[in-house]
Amino acid sequence: MTAGTWVAPQWTPLRTASFSSRVAVPTPPPVPTDELRQAIWAQMEQEERRGQGRRQRLQQHAAPLPQAPVAQPQQPQTAANSAATVVGCVIVLGFFVLVLVSILGAIFSG
């Protein structure tokens, strides 16, 4: 939908014997005059010139952007890291087994 095709609805009351309701009556879009068109074009040209001046000033005063830090290469995983990972997993699994055994013990003991 564009501004040239949009029709603003106007609400007008419709009265009948038993009730009243509101009906949308389409109205044609306003027809712009030549003076209005010239004023709009003049404003658009002024804003375009103002935007170009701002861009030029920003380019003159812009500081260079800082460079992103270079990523360090990943260290290969050592045997100590592997052993620590295995020990951590065993501890977590042992905790879950203890919780499961205590829950099952509570269910079947009584």
pLDDT tens digits, 13-51: 555 555 666 677 778 878 888 998 999 999 999 888 887
Which among 45, 43, 26, 27 is positioned nearest to 35, based on CA atoms? 43
Question: CA–CA separation, 28 vs 5, rounded Å?
Answer: 9
Confidence of residue 78 (pLDDT cuts 50, 70, 90): confident
Question: CA–CA separation, 46 vs 39, rounded Å?
Answer: 11
State pLDDT tens for residues 52-68. Answer: 777 777 667 666 666 77
Who wins on pLDDT, 103 or 58?
A: 103
The model's pTM: 0.30
Q: Where are the domains of the chain?
A: 9-57
